[in-house]
């Protein structure tokens, strides 16, 4: 315990330091250590004030999420209990100053708010991100936060889950001072100032000014709940957070805390909390590759050269410049380079207009990107990313060329979304240095990068790719080299099934509505229209060889192509689009679907939303299971992360494989068998799914059992 929390004194100020790396979570031992240290400080007559600070890189990043995971899964002895420590802090007779750097998140901010005063360095981040884990602040945060920042700001912070920086926290009244210079020195000086003023320490729970009138109009909370529903579709926790804040307004502090406890208990016992906590750890687990040790050396990437200034190349250039990397952006003719740079500039200008960052930052980022027609300077690049047109011949030629120019320790990456990375690597004399970096469009926004591991890809190259993804603020997931890799390989059967459903009697609108009600960010037909139906068609052509006799293929897509309906870019695809790109139903498409079904001898029938979800999602799950069986993904959780960060799968369902676990693998497999009987061998259950279903197991348990999994194929 004494290692987790240390107590020293400096000139009459007790300094309590939390040392629980890496993020000073409130793990068992930390609250107890804090209480003991406070007790000692209280008893020490030479101490006039107390400063609580985090050791290492941060203040307190919250409750220990591992403890919450235990509580959510019904293991352990229930959620952690912080009320005692909060009371000890707030009731301390000597002023307690919280000194914040790094992050004060969740329980971290709740501890900070129990202090009498808070100071922070300018880049400290403070917030209540609990909703991202499917829970609400459960350590009196919903009661103290509105007392400090007012009800509206408290709702915003708890519903959005987004942290704010210290200067904004100061404006809101969440902290008392932004510190320049050394935080501890400043906090000690501040604590002395307060002690010199004398008087009683200021207790947050006794502040009422910002709670408004004693009974804020209930209709305001109705409006905030509506807002929460819009911001966090289908999610329970944001609504419960509003309930808890309403209790802060309407109930005395202790009763409000009791209400918060009840609401917290409801949330932590929900499927949503389990799924979101799974997603939290899954996102961090992807960086761990069983045969690539943590200490694998990485190449230092400072400069990047990109081939192709189109949508992907431009987006990747922005992602790199945003992270402070210098970028050479090459294309074949001046017009293409200028167009690429102009789009980058426009995107940045939009961000400046929206207040996301300053003009100065935009100028710095633009200055990092140089457009050019030649390979000049490529010889110095630490990383070369090819983002040219999706053609094997072209890519092989490019890799042959860059192989001759690049320095020996330059990582060579292809942004291919479908092609064989081994074949591309074979065009070079150093296949070990070649890796796939499959960014998702728009690459400056989307968080996912599939890191495609070829047969020869060297471990330091993989470790470098993972480190780069993190540096770019993205989530890198290592996948094996199979057609479509993981994400697109699962997408294809999903798209196909959706198209079959409309031929059998559903409409694109019904399918999309069922999918968005399920929680998908977009319906699959809207996705098709956005990405371009020509692209979807081209991808399908790539997989033609997988089509087998007796397997019915949907036919409408091809007809849309013949009609020139390529999606949003031509103003029409599965939907028709107005000038604002808003989709509207198109009777022509409905007629085309019906005619196609008739020609194909498909009897149209009523299709329920339930069938839509089962067929679209289960086919995806089955493909995911095949991918795992074949070793193209390390864990089921990796597949989840790919779908959560790249394909708009609802986070509160934890990803497709986790969702399958929650439905029950036997139930999923049995429905897949039904569909196999009705629709043919396309629906053959994967051997892994069969095995786990028969054994009454889950993908999560399978992952856990394979902690030391063999390398990917
Ligand atoms: C809460 O507080 C509830 C309360 O209201 C009270 C309830 C009663 N616990 O992300 P990183 C681990 S809910 C346990 O790679 P970064 C993480 O798993 C909590 N472990 O670093 C990883 O482990 P590993 C509210 C945690 O620098 C390592 O730390 N708080 C926790 O990119 C490094 O993490 C949050 O939701 C934790 N709280 O980002 C904040 N946090 O190396 C959650 C991290 O073994 N945390 N770990 O894979 C974050 O958002 C980021 O971790 C943070 C650092 C921004 C802090």
Asked whether residue 528 carries a pLDDT value surpassing 70, the answer given is yes
Give catalytic status of residue 130 as yes or no: yes
Residue 65 alpha carbon, nearest atom of ligand 1:
9
What is the C-alpha to C-alpha distance for residues 491 and 494, in angstroms, rounded to an integer? 5
Residues 524-550 have a mean pLDDT of 80
pLDDT digits (tens, 9 = 90+) for 108-142: 999 999 999 999 999 999 999 999 999 999 999 99
| Catalytic residue (choose from 90, 130, 283, 504) | 130
pLDDT digits (tens, 9 = 90+) for 585-613: 999 999 999 999 999 899 999 999 999 99
Asked whether residue 277 carries a pLDDT value surpassing 60, the answer given is yes
Mutate to test the pocket of ligand 1, among 56, 61, 131 (most ligand atoms within 8 A of CB): 61
More confident residue, 554 or 622: 622
Where do we find the tokens 């956005």?
530
Report CA torsion sign: 119, 121, 122, 126: negative
Question: Chain-centre distance of CA 375, in angstroms?
Answer: 35
Residue 281 alpha carbon, nearest atom of ligand 1:
18
Alpha-carbon distance values, 163 to 82, 167, 211, 267, 271 (Å): 21, 12, 21, 21, 25
> Cα of 285 to ligand 1 centre, how many Å?
13
What is the C-alpha to C-alpha distance for residues 503 and 595, in angstroms, rounded to an integer? 9
pLDDT digits (tens, 9 = 90+) for 16-42: 999 999 999 999 999 999 999 999 999
> Cα of 37 to ligand 1 centre, how many Å?
24
pLDDT digits (tens, 9 = 90+) for 156-215: 999 999 999 999 999 999 999 999 999 999 999 999 999 999 878 899 999 998 987 645
Residues 375-392 have a mean pLDDT of 95
CA atoms within a 13 Å half-sphere pointing along the CA-CB vector of 388: 18
Percent of the chain with pLDDT over 90: 88
What Rg value do the Cα atoms of the chain yield, rounded?
28
Report which of 302, 455, 491 is spatially closest to residue 380, judged by C-alpha positions.
302
Asked whether residue 711 carries a pLDDT value surpassing 90, the answer given is no
Residues whose CB falls within 8 Å of the CB of residue 555, separated by 6 or more in sequence, listed in order? 503, 596, 599, 600
- CB burial class (10 A; 0-12, 13-18, 19+) of residue 684? middle
In this structure, what token pair is assigned to residue 534? 């020509």
Report which of 48, 51, 46, 44 is spatially closest to residue 18, judged by C-alpha positions.
51
Question: What pLDDT shows up at residue 11?
Answer: 87
Strand duo 383-386 + 369-372: pairing:
unpaired
Where do we find the tokens 């990456």?
413
pLDDT category at 546 given cuts 50, 70, 90 is low
> Cα of 62 to ligand 1 centre, how many Å?
7
Give the residue, by CA position, lying nearest to ligand 1 atom 23.
284
Report which of 62, 92, 292 is spatially closest to residue 200, judged by C-alpha positions.
92
Residues whose CB falls within 8 Å of the CB of residue 318, separated by 6 or more in sequence, listed in order? 344, 347, 348, 365, 369, 443, 444
Where do we find the tokens 């003009």?
359
* Angle in degrees, 0-180, between the axes of helices 508-518 and 609-629, rounded to the nearest 10: 70
pLDDT category at 367 given cuts 50, 70, 90 is very high
Question: Chain-centre distance of CA 304, in angstroms?
Answer: 25
Give catalytic status of residue 110 as yes or no: yes
Question: What pLDDT shows up at residue 713?
Answer: 45
> Cα of 173 to ligand 1 centre, how many Å?
25
Give the residue, by CA position, lying nearest to ligand 1 atom 36.
129
DSSP assignment, residue 63?
Answer: B
Do the beta carbons of residue 369 and residue 341 sit within 8 Å?
Answer: yes
Do the beta carbons of residue 415 and residue 437 sit within 8 Å?
Answer: yes
Question: Chain-centre distance of CA 368, in angstroms?
Answer: 27
What is the C-alpha to C-alpha distance for residues 24 and 625, in angstroms, rounded to an integer? 37
CA atoms within a 13 Å half-sphere pointing along the CA-CB vector of 502: 28
Percent of the chain with pLDDT over 70: 97
Do the beta carbons of residue 129 and residue 106 sit within 8 Å?
Answer: yes
Residues 678-687 have a mean pLDDT of 92
Residues 547-564 have a mean pLDDT of 84
Question: What pLDDT shows up at residue 218?
Answer: 77
| Catalytic residue (choose from 110, 140, 450, 504) | 110
More confident residue, 61 or 3: 61
Question: What pLDDT shows up at residue 339?
Answer: 96
pLDDT digits (tens, 9 = 90+) for 454-477: 999 999 999 999 999 999 999 999
Asked whether residue 316 carries a pLDDT value surpassing 90, the answer given is yes
pTM: 0.94
Where do we find the tokens 């200008």?
349
Chain mean pLDDT for the chain: 94
Please give the angle made by the CA atoms of 625, 630 and 634, to the nearest 5 degrees: 75
DSSP for 594-659 reads HHHHHHTTPPP----HHHHHHHHHHHHHHHHHHHHHTTSBS-HHHHHHHHHHHS---GGGT-HHHH
Q: Which residues are 411's β-sheet partners?
A: 383
Q: With b meaning 16 or more CB within 10 Å and e meaning fewer, what string describes 611-623?
A: bbbbbbbbbbbbb
More confident residue, 582 or 519: 519
Do the beta carbons of residue 454 and residue 448 sit within 8 Å?
Answer: no
- CB burial class (10 A; 0-12, 13-18, 19+) of residue 70? middle
Asked whether residue 1 carries a pLDDT value surpassing 60, the answer given is no
* Angle in degrees, 0-180, between the axes of helices 65-72 and 271-285, rounded to the nearest 10: 140
Asked whether residue 542 carries a pLDDT value surpassing 70, the answer given is no
pLDDT category at 219 given cuts 50, 70, 90 is confident
What is the C-alpha to C-alpha distance for residues 673 and 679, in angstroms, rounded to an integer? 10
Residues whose CB falls within 8 Å of the CB of residue 679, separated by 6 or more in sequence, listed in order? 500, 552
Residues 391-415 have a mean pLDDT of 97
What is the C-alpha to C-alpha distance for residues 584 and 588, in angstroms, rounded to an integer? 12
Pocket of ligand 1 (CB under 6 A): 22-23, 25, 61-66, 79-80, 82, 103, 105-107, 110, 129-130, 133, 137-139, 141, 284
Phi-psi region of 128 (alpha: psi -120 to 50; beta: other; left: phi over 0): beta
Question: What pLDDT shows up at residue 708?
Answer: 54
What is the C-alpha to C-alpha distance for residues 395 and 387, in angstroms, rounded to an integer? 9
DSSP assignment, residue 310?
Answer: S
Question: What pLDDT shows up at residue 95?
Answer: 97
Residue 287 alpha carbon, nearest atom of ligand 1:
48
Question: Which residue stretches of 55-106 are H helix?
Answer: 65-72, 83-90
Give the residue, by CA position, lying nearest to ligand 1 atom 45.
284
Question: What pLDDT shows up at residue 537?
Answer: 82
- CB burial class (10 A; 0-12, 13-18, 19+) of residue 478? buried
Asked whether residue 340 carries a pLDDT value surpassing 90, the answer given is yes
Give the residue, by CA position, lying nearest to ligand 1 atom 46.
61
What is the C-alpha to C-alpha distance for residues 526 and 153, in angstroms, rounded to an integer? 35
DSSP for 411-445 reads EEEE--SSS-HHHHHTTSS-GGGEEEEEE-SSTTT
pLDDT digits (tens, 9 = 90+) for 231-240: 899 999 999 9
């Amino acid at each position: 315990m004494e290692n987790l929390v240390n107590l020293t004194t400096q000139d009459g100020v007790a300094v309590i330091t939390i040392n629980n790396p890496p993020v000073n979570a409130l793990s068992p031992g930390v609250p107890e250590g804090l209480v003991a240290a406070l007790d000692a400080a209280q008893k020490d007559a030479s101490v006039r004030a107390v400063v609580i600070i985090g050791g290492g890189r941060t203040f307190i990043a919250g409750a220990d999420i591992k403890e919450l995971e235990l509580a959510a899964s019904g293991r352990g002895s229930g959620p952690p209990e912080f009320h005692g420590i909060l009371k000890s802090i707030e009731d301390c007779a000597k002023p307690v100053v919280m000194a914040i750097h790094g992050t004060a998140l969740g329980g971290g901010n709740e501890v900070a708010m129990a202090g009498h005063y808070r100071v922070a360095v300018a880049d400290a981040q403070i917030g209540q991100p609990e909703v991202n884990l499917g829970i609400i602040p459960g350590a009196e945060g919903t009661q103290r936060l509105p007392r400090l920042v007012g009800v509206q700001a408290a709702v915003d912070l708890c519903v959005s889950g987004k942290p704010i920086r210290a200067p904004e926290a100061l404006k809101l009244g969440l902290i008392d001072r932004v510190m320049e210079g050394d935080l501890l020195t400043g906090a000690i000086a501040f604590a002395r100032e307060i002690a010199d003023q004398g008087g009683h320490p200021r207790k947050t729970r006794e502040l009422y000014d910002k709670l408004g009138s004693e009974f804020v109009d209930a209709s305001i909370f109705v409006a905030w709940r509506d807002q929460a529903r819009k911001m966090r579709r289908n999610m329970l926790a944001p609504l419960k957070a509003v309930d808890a804040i309403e209790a802060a307004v309407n109930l005395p502090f202790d009763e409000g805390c009791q209400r918060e406890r009840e609401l917290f208990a409801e949330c932590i016992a929900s499927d949503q909390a389990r799924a979101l906590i799974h997603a939290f750890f899954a996102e961090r687990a992807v960086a761990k590759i069983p045969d690539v040790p943590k200490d694998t050396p990485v190449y230092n990437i400072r400069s990047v050269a990109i081939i192709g200034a189109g949508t992907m190349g431009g987006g990747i250039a922005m992602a790199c410049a945003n992270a402070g990397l210098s970028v050479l952006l090459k294309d074949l003719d001046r017009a293409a380079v200028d167009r690429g740079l102009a789009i980058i500039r426009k995107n940045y200008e939009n961000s400046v207009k929206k207040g996301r960052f300053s003009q100065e930052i935009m100028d710095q980022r633009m200055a990092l990107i140089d457009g050019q027609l030649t390979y000049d300077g490529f010889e110095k690049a630490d990383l070369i990313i090819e983002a040219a047109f999706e053609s094997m011949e072209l890519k092989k030629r490019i890799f042959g060329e860059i192989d001759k120019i690049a320095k020996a320790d330059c990582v060579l990456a292809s942004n291919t979304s479908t092609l064989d990375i081994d074949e591309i690597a074979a065009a070079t004399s150093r296949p070990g240095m070649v890796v796939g970096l499959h960014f998702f469009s728009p690459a400056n926004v989307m968080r996912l990068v599939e890191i495609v591991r070829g047969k020869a890809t060297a471990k330091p190259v993989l470790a470098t790719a993972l480190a780069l993804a993190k540096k770019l603020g993205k989530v890198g997931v290592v996948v094996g080299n199979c057609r479509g890799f993981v994400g697109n390989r699962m997408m294809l059967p999903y798209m196909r099934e959706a198209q079959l459903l409309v031929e059998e009697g559903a409409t694109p609108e019904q399918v999309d509505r069922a999918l968005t009600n399920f929680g998908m960010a977009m319906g699959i037909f809207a996705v098709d229209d956005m990405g371009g139906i020509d692209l979807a068609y081209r991808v399908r052509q790539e997989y033609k060889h997988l089509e087998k006799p007796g397997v019915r293929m949907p036919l409408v897509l091809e007809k849309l192509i013949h009609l020139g309906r390529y999606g949003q870019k031509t103003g029409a695809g599965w939907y028709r689009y107005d000038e604002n790109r808003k989709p509207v139903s198109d009777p022509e498409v409905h007629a085309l679907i019906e005619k196609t079904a008739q020609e194909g001898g498909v009897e149209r029938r009523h299709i329920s939303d339930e069938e839509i979800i089962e067929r679209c999602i289960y086919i995806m799950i089955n493909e995911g299971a095949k991918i795992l069986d074949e070793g193209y993904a390390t864990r089921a959780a990796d597949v989840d992360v790919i779908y959560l960060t790249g394909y708009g799968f609802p986070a509160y369902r934890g990803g497709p494989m986790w969702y399958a676990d929650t439905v029950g693998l036997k139930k999923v497999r049995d429905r897949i068998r039904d569909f196999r009987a009705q629709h043919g061998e396309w629906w053959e259950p994967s051997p892994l799914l069969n095995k786990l279903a028969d054994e009454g197991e889950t993908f999560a348990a399978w992952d856990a059992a394979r902690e030391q999994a063999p390398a990917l194929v």
